[in-house]
Structure 1
């Protein structure tokens, strides 16, 4: 068996055809496959998308993000970019064009959303990363990315419970979280 480095895994990932209905991401050289999301998850994404003004922002779902100097191609639940800055076509959206990414935590994505993706998005210098967590009914807004690679992180963190409004300064809006649903019967975790 031949060892494959991260660059080789990136090339393999470009040609990989996942089974229908499966979401696939490349996170620091590791291919991660997930089943289709829960209705609670999908409704939260729709609710967020509906609150972001379409005239100024493109709100893109299931878009692969290209992170410079990373063997990563995450697929956030929602990508927000200023209207008119994205290329006309292509599979990968350069991270430097992105204003905000949104991940809605699923029952199996807790560690990825709060851990490796936090570091990957910070390494990509994405100004705002919003984690919406229907397990513990709160949002975590991360801003001010700093650092490179595995050491990258966000300096600022704001936690908002579901039901309160969350200022998204980078978008110039207040996000209403009152309609966000929660998962039933899922054990809480210890992330913020």
Structure 2
């Protein structure tokens, strides 16, 4: 896709209103629409959010993220920002302010969460990217972003199964995962 095409899509996306019951995000010049999430998904987001101490961090749901040099405006399930750097207002939160993003895998978002968004968040130099996966009953924490564009990636990854705590050093939080649910009867995948 050319820069003109990406700019046109980004301008179109700015005023785009998805149909009721759908959420939309811009990922590398493509508008991706998703149905409302499953109850398992929403409970994992809630349980994760409640473990982040509000005296130091703001865990924000459905916050659009602005990535420099990317035709992308992802909407992570959770964005974690230090309280003292949060702007007063705005639809787009600059990626430079973000400490961690969280995506909870849905039945149809496996590739997007593990590959596309992993590269996008690494390109935005987001320090930590946590994928919580109710298909495989695991959390995958990506850290140490490097690179630009589609070649960006995280140099480190750590996997922990549900039921065991996961240390989120970047937040100084031990995430308890024992209450995280799973999707029944969903075919396993091969990510990360």
Q: Smaller-chain TM-score range?
A: over 0.9
> After the TM superposition, which segments of 4 or more aligned residues of structure 1 sit over 3 Å from their partners?
none
Residue 77 of structure 2 is matched in structure 1 by: 77
How far did 1:21 drift? 2.0
User: What CA distance in whole angstroms lies between the structure 1 residues aligned with 2:28 and 2:135?
Assistant: 26
Alignment of 1:35-54 (within 5 A): 35-54=35-54
- TM-score, normalization: structure 2? 0.97
How far did 1:145 drift? 0.2
Structure 1, residues 53-91: CA drift from partner, whole Å, max 9, x if none?
A: 011100100000000000000000000000021111110
Residue 147 of structure 1 is matched in structure 2 by: 147
- TM-score, normalization: structure 1? 0.97
Structure 1, residues 18-61: CA drift from partner, whole Å, max 9, x if none?
A: 11221100000000000000000000000000000011100100
**Please, what is the CA RMSD of the aligned residues?**
1.0
Residue 175 of structure 1 is matched in structure 2 by: 175
Residue 12 of structure 2 is matched in structure 1 by: 12
Instruction: Please give the secondary structure, in 1, of the residue aligned with 2:129.
Output: strand
Instruction: Please give the secondary structure, in 2, of the residue aligned with 1:5.
Output: helix
- Structure 2, unpaired ranges of 5+: none
Instruction: Please give the secondary structure, in 1, of the residue aligned with 2:84.
Output: coil
- Structure 1, unpaired ranges of 5+: none
User: What CA distance in whole angstroms lies between the structure 1 residues aligned with 2:14 and 2:86?
Assistant: 20
How far did 1:95 drift? 0.2
